[in-house]
Amino acid sequence: MASPFRDAADLLSEPARQTFELRWSRYLPDLESGLRAVYGERTGEIVERLRPILERRAAERSPELRCLDEARLLTPGWLQSPTMIGYAAYADRFAGTLSGIVDHLDHLEALGVTYLHLMPFLEPRPGDSDGGYAVADHRAVRPDLGSVADVESLTAQLRRHGISLVMDLVVNHVAAEHDWAVRARAGEQRYRDYFHILADRHEVDRWEESLPEVFPDFAPGNFTLDDAAGGWVRTTFNSWQWDLNWADPDVFCEFVDLMSWWANKGVEVFRLDATAFIWKELGTSCQNRPQVHDITQALRQAMRIVAPAVAFKAEAIVGPTDLVGYLGTDEHSGLVADMAYHNALMVHLWSALAARDSSLAEVALRRFPDKPTGTTWATYARCHDDIGWAIDDPDARDAGLDPVAHRRFLSDFYSGQFPGSFARGLVFQENPATGDRRISGSLASLAGLQAALEAGDPARTADAVARILLLHTAILGFGGVPLLWMGDEIGTLNDDSWACDPDHAGDNRWVHRPRMDWRAADEAREHPRSAAGRIWWGIRHVIGVRRATPELDAAAETVVLPSPDTRIMMWGRDHPRGRMVQLYNLSEQVVWFPMHALRQELGDRATELLSGFQYDLTPAVLRIDPFQRLWFTTRGLP
C-alpha cells in the first residue's frame, strides 16, 4: 500500500530537517529495540513505514510547539517540579464545553494548576460508553463538547497560562462502532487483523481458563459472540469494547500517527488507558506482559522524535512490583512512561484515616519500590473511579491485621455501615464470591463532611474539614504531581440525583461526578470561614507552600519513617537544600509526640513550613493537634 506520507521529507524546512535527523539518530536505536522485541524480523519494515509518518507530522508541527519541544528538552525534569499541580475533570461537568473551560481559567490559576487532565473527550459510541472510554472516532471530539479546532484553541490558551493539557488515549480497545471494527465486520482482512476474533467456542474456552473477569457483574467473560464478524471477539471490559491486536504492526503505526496528530493539536501528556492489558498471551492473565513495556518504549521513542515536549502517563492500577515496570526498569529504564498513578498511596491514606492508625500504611509504603530516576508519581486522594481496597495480604498480616477482615472493615466504614463511621459512601460492584466491595462517593462525603453538615454539628464539621485538608496535604507533600479531582477543592458532596439520569442509573460512581457548582465555588472564595471556604483557602495555602519548597521536587524519594505513635504518619525527604520531615495526625485526639523522633532526623531546630514558625526540638514532647499537618525542614538553618 502506497504511503500518504511518502513525500513528507520535502515538507521539512532545512532547520527542521536538521532537528529531525538529530532526533532520529538519537532515538532510533531505542525505537528499534522496542520494536524488535515484539515484531522481530519485521522491525526494518516497520521503521521504514514510520519515518515518513513522523516526517510529515514534524513538518506540520507549529513554531510555538517546536519552541515548547526545545524548552522541554532543556528542562527534562519539568514534570518533577514542585510547581506542578494537577487537576482532573470532565469537560462538560466542569464547564459545559471545551471552549467554556477558558471562562474558568481564573479558578484553575488561583489554585496554581499547571496540569489539566480532561476526562475522555473523543467521540464515543452512542449510549453507554464506559464514561467515554469506548472511543468510536479517534480524530473527532464528542459533538456536545465541541470540535478538534476547539481542542487546538484550548491548548493554546492553556499554554499561555502555563497549563499542560492531558488527554486520555485508550490503547487496549475501541468501540464496536469504530470504523476499524465496522470494516472488520464487513470482512476486510486488514481490519480483522486489528482485533482478536476467534472462530469457535473451544478456542475461547482455552483462553478463558487463565483470564480474570474485570466486571463480572455486568460484563462476565472476556469474549463476545459477534455474528456479523463471524466469531468471538476479545472484549476484556465490555461487549462493545473490542480489544486491539498489538501483535499487528498496523495497529502500532496507527497509534504513532494518532499520537503525533494530537500532539500537533497541543496535547502535552497522553494518559495511556488500560495499558496493562494490551498484550495477549494464551495461558496467562494477559496483564503486565513484558511486551507491554516494549511497545510503550517504541511509542515513547517515536514521540521523542516528532514531539519531545510530550509525556506519557501510564494508567496501570496493578501491584507495586508490576507498577514500577511501567516507569521503566532494567533495559527499559528511562524509555517508557514518565508518570504512573500511586494507587497504593490513595488506598492507604483512606485506610489510615478510618483506623486512625498508620501501622499498615507504614508497612506497605516502606516496601513500595522506589520509582526509577527521572520519573514521577501521580498522587491523588480521589479520582473519577471507585476505591478498591488493594491491600496486600502479607502487608496486612505484618501490621497485625487480618487482611480479609480489614478490607471488610474499610468497605463497611466508608459505606457508613460501621458503627461510628463518619463516611457516606456507596458500595460499588459487590462480589459475594470474593467478598470484594469497592466504594463510590465524593472525597468530602467519605471524609465526613456530609454527615456533619446534615447533623448541624460544628465540631464534626471542623473534623471533616481537617480530614479533607490532611488528605490534600499528604498528596501535595508526597512528591510527584498531585492531582485534585474537580470539586474537591470546595468540598463537593455526593450527588444524590445520580440515579435519575437513565444513562448513569446503573453505575453509582456518578454519585461523585456531579457538575461543578460555580456558585458554591464563588461562595467558598468569598466566605473563608464556611466549611467550603476553609477547604478552598486551606488547599490554596498548602499549594502555595509546596510551590516554594524545593524539597518536594519529585527527584527526591519520600521515605516512610517509623513513627513512635501509630496515630501519627511520619515521612522523610532528603534534598540537597535540606532534610524534610512531615507529620500527619490521623486521629481526633491530641498527640504528645516524642521529640527525639524529630531530633534524630532534623537536629535541634527546624522550620515548620505550613505555619512559617521555627521550632525548638529540644523539649521532650511536641503537641500535635487533631488532624494537624506539619512540614519540618532544616533548609536555611545554620
Does residue 284 lie within any of the structural domains?
Answer: no
Query: Residue 51: is its pLDDT beyond 50?
Result: yes
Query: Residue 436: is its pLDDT beyond 90?
Result: no
Average pLDDT score over residue span 498-521: 92
Backbone angles phi, psi at 244, to 5 degrees: -85, 150
273 is catalytic: yes
Task: Write out the three cell numbers for 591.
Answer: 498527640
Query: Residue 52: is its pLDDT beyond 80?
Result: yes
Torsion angle (degrees, nearest 10) of CA 535, 539, 540, 545: 150
Instruction: Give pLDDT, residue 9.
Output: 61
Q: Which of 30, 92, 273, 463 does the annotation list as catalytic?
A: 273
Closest CA to 13 of 70, 58, 47, 75: 58
- pLDDT tens readout for residues 30-39: 999 999 999 9
Average pLDDT score over residue span 476-500: 96
* Confidence band for 638, pLDDT divided at 50, 70 and 90: confident
C-alpha span between 316 and 340 (Å, rounded): 7
Q: What share of the chain is helix, strand, coil (3-state, %, to 5)?
A: 45, 20, 35
Query: Residue 489: is its pLDDT beyond 90?
Result: yes
Instruction: Give pLDDT, residue 481.
Output: 97
* Confidence band for 221, pLDDT divided at 50, 70 and 90: confident
Across 9-13, 37-41, 319-323, 627-631, least confident range: 9-13
Closest CA to 166 of 124, 118, 123, 132: 118
Does residue 166 lie within any of the structural domains?
Answer: no
* Confidence band for 1, pLDDT divided at 50, 70 and 90: very low
Q: Which of 92, 168, 315, 357 does the annotation list as catalytic?
A: 315
* Confidence band for 218, pLDDT divided at 50, 70 and 90: low
Does residue 444 lie within any of the structural domains?
Answer: no
Average pLDDT score over residue span 264-286: 97
Average pLDDT score over residue span 252-266: 98
Task: Write out the three cell numbers for 566.
Answer: 501509630
Average pLDDT across the chain, whole number? 95
- pLDDT tens readout for residues 382-418: 999 999 999 999 999 999 999 999 999 999 999 999 9
- pLDDT tens readout for residues 593-619: 999 999 999 999 999 999 999 999 999
Contact between 298 and 252 (Cβ < 8 Å)? yes
- pLDDT tens readout for residues 108-121: 999 999 999 999 99
Instruction: Give pLDDT, residue 7.
Output: 61
Does residue 404 lie within any of the structural domains?
Answer: no
Give the residue numbers spanning the domain of 197.
179-243
- pLDDT tens readout for residues 559-590: 999 999 999 999 999 999 999 999 999 999 99
* Final residue belonging to a domain, choices 27, 57, 73: 73
Average pLDDT score over residue span 330-342: 95
Closest CA to 242 of 262, 218, 225: 225
Query: Residue 430: is its pLDDT beyond 90?
Result: no
* Final residue belonging to a domain, choices 217, 243, 269: 243
- pLDDT tens readout for residues 82-134: 999 999 999 999 999 999 999 999 999 999 999 999 999 999 999 889 889 99
Q: pTM to 2 decimals?
A: 0.95
C-alpha span between 185 and 164 (Å, rounded): 38
Does residue 477 lie within any of the structural domains?
Answer: no
Does residue 1 lie within any of the structural domains?
Answer: no
C-alpha span between 452 and 450 (Å, rounded): 5
CATH code where residue 199 lies: 3.90.400.10
Query: Residue 216: is its pLDDT beyond 70?
Result: no
CATH code where residue 591 lies: 2.60.40.1180
Across 7-11, 338-342, 455-459, 513-517, least confident range: 7-11
Closest CA to 383 of 434, 465, 438: 438
**Which residues have a Cβ under 8 Å from the Cβ of 394 and sit 6 or more positions away?**
none
Task: Write out the three cell numbers for 165.
Answer: 493539557
588 is catalytic: no
**Which residues have a Cβ under 8 Å from the Cβ of 540 and sit 6 or more positions away?**
110, 111, 112
Instruction: Give pLDDT, residue 50.
Output: 98
* Final residue belonging to a domain, choices 24, 48, 73: 73
34 strand-pairing partners: none
Number of domains in the chain: 3
Contact between 440 and 513 (Cβ < 8 Å)? no
